[in-house]
Amino acid sequence: MKTIGTLSIALLLGMSVSASANDSVTEAIENTKQWAIQTGDYANTRYSELAQINKDNVKDLRVAWTFSTGVLRGHEGSPLVIGDIMYVHTPFPNVVYALDLANDGKILWRYEPKQNPDVIAVMCCDTVYRGLAYADGKVFLHQADTTLIALDAKTGEVKWQVVNGDPTKGETNTATVLPVKDKLLVGISGGEFGVQGHVTAYSIETGEQMWRAYSVGSDDQLLVDPEKTTHLGKPIGKDSSISSWEGDQWKIGGGTTWGWYSYDPELNLVYYGTGNPSTWNPKQRPGDNKWSMTIFARDVDTGMAKWVYQMTPHDEWDFDGVNEMILTDQEMDGQMRKLLTHFDRNGIAYTLDRETGELLVAEKYDPTVNWTTGVDMDPASETYGRPSVVAQYSTEQNGEDTNTTGVCPAALGTKDQQPAAYSPKTNLFYVPTNHVCMDYEPFKVSYAAGQPYVGATLSMYPAPGSHGGMGNFLAWDNLTGEIKWSLPEQFSVWSGALATAGDIVFYGTLEGYLKAIDASTGEELYRFKTPSGIIGNVMTYEHGGKQYIGVLSGVGGWAGIGLAAGLTNPTEGLGAVGGYAALSDYTALGGQLTVFELPD
């Protein structure tokens, strides 16, 4: 397949200054020696044009230097590199370090937040944090307690701070933020505590709130136009969300926004997904529960939604829709299309036209997915765009709670938040996945502010009838909906991928290995075991004429919550503790950044 032209690639990946994007961020991304944004670029491709490290010499990688974060628990996200400074973050308590790359990584400054440790008890799946953001000479930290901090990038001085949520109601944060134009886009966590999810835009300069858009609620809360906002090409209509809930359940309906955000400067649209409806017990919330489990395309200036697409109506399995939206321009059916590719927790990979929301491809990216036979792709059908649920794997049968066994994937999905990467050289997507199934026992639960509002007990285990492991790393064709190659892993791949112009893809494993893979063939070219399991995202930068690869080690996250939090009951950690019990035989807690280089 043909890829987009040079100019379009530059615009898409943020390689050219555009008045539609934040100039400081775009210019920082344009300098390919830096790693200026968690997602690699506004399009969320996690692709680097650096090629000094390539598939022929990657076997010679060695450790250049390391840095201990001083924090245990799970380390997600990655450092940023702006000029000669690397910015490193930790899980709770969310310490920030500025390291001088021109002076042996000397600590230029550190910021140590003072947070109430009670927030830990209302964080769903470990105390992870997915990283800092940079814009206009500031570094942005969204703390676990939802305090949003702007720090001077040179000195660490606090420039402003605002509070985005209320932990006493179960509102917390684990996600990074996205700087776009004069705004900072910020989400919220807490779907397991019955919060009403939202995305908020704050002024980069002052911290003033500019707009807030809820995932569920009234039209004015959602920032939708009933006649202009579309779902699969049709207007959503008045009260589209609240009419899909019973009574006022939407007020505690979830739809949190703790995933990744991407942005198209040409369309001025930001894309993100919403999480599970609350509670996990589907019998207690009849209806489609809109707009949980939904892809949103919003105008950055106003927050108004242009289109939505709900992937899992009336979710029965906790298949949050928050995973990244990767933006590409590719030739499809003889024409260039502005595409959005999304690997959902529900096990289906979607390709949509990101300008119109048209659904183009919806295919399983793990053949063991069994809760659905697939998505109805007939535009003339009344069920167009909906997955067909296999009754055997429904957790609500004949209107009653049902103890359901053998559901694939498990609640943590065929892929959780760990981001995929895209290479314009191969036109392939590189996807870290979970190969895990579950038993699901729903039960009635009552809502109380700040208390868990789950209503289900889970058990997880490797998908049967396959390689016996709990993960795969695969290459995906988003135009045909096909797996090109797949590498089995003993445990879920909880690390974010990195693709480079050196024809390599990097990822980490829960045992702690950094691996380098041939982007075309899937051949393993290099591996190195770091001090702890990797759930961080691999990044790259150049300094002093040399390319480096960096990754945070520190086992934890949902898959590693047993180790991170010292849990032993198999059903704890929302079912993950039992599923990943063997992980403790291969790794232990730790918080370390490891940076790799080629020999001189």
Over residues 570-592, the mean pLDDT reads 92
Over residues 250-278, the mean pLDDT reads 97
Burial class from Cβ neighbours inside 10 Å (0-12, 13-18, 19+) for residue 255 reads buried
Token readout for 149 is 């901090």
| Confidence band of 250 (pLDDT split at 50, 70, 90) | very high
Q: Give the model confidence (pLDDT) of 424-468 as tens digits.
A: 999 999 999 999 999 999 999 999 999 999 999 999 999 998 788
SS3 for 179-245 is EECCEEEECCECHHHCCECEEEEEECCCCCEEEEEECCCCHHHHCCCCCCCEECCEECCCCCCHHHC
- pLDDT of 5 > 90? The answer is no
- pLDDT of 15 > 60? The answer is no
Alpha-carbon span 198 to 123, nearest angstrom = 17
Token readout for 28 is 């920082």
- pLDDT of 12 > 50? The answer is no
**Res 467: pLDDT:** 87
Q: Which of 560, 468, 581, 463 is nearest to 509 (CA)?
A: 560
Q: Is the distance from CB of 285 to CB of 246 less than 8 angstroms?
A: yes
Per-residue buried b or exposed e for 201-229, using 16+ beta carbons within 10 Å of the residue's own CB = bbebeebeebbbbbbbbebebbbbeeeeb
- Half-sphere exposure (Cβ direction) of 268: Cα atoms closer than 13 Å: 11
**Whether residue 318 lies in the annotated active site:** yes
| Confidence band of 399 (pLDDT split at 50, 70, 90) | confident
CA 169 → CA 252, 410, 447, distances in Å?
A: 10, 27, 11
Helices and strands, counts by H and E, the chain: 5, 42
Q: Give the model confidence (pLDDT) of 339-388 as tens digits.
A: 999 999 999 999 999 999 999 999 999 999 999 999 999 999 999 999 99
| Confidence band of 326 (pLDDT split at 50, 70, 90) | very high
Q: Give the model confidence (pLDDT) of 161-170 as tens digits.
A: 999 999 999 9
- Right CATH for 6-597 from 2.140.10.10, 3.40.50.720, 1.10.3720.10, 3.30.930.10: 2.140.10.10
Burial class from Cβ neighbours inside 10 Å (0-12, 13-18, 19+) for residue 151 reads buried
Q: Give the model confidence (pLDDT) of 404-429 as tens digits.
A: 999 999 999 999 999 999 999 999 99
**Res 22: pLDDT:** 78
**Res 424: pLDDT:** 98
| Confidence band of 400 (pLDDT split at 50, 70, 90) | confident
| Confidence band of 18 (pLDDT split at 50, 70, 90) | very low
Token readout for 584 is 């403790």
Given the residues 126, 318, 320, 329, select the one marked as catalytic.
Answer: 318
| Domain regions of the chain by residue span | 6-597
| Confidence band of 21 (pLDDT split at 50, 70, 90) | low
Q: How many angstroms separate the first and last alpha carbons of the chain? A: 38
CA 69 → CA 72, 87, 222, 251, 497, distances in Å?
A: 8, 12, 39, 39, 22
Task: Give me the chain's average pLDDT, please.
Answer: 94
Q: How many CB atoms lie within 10 A of CB 356?
A: 15
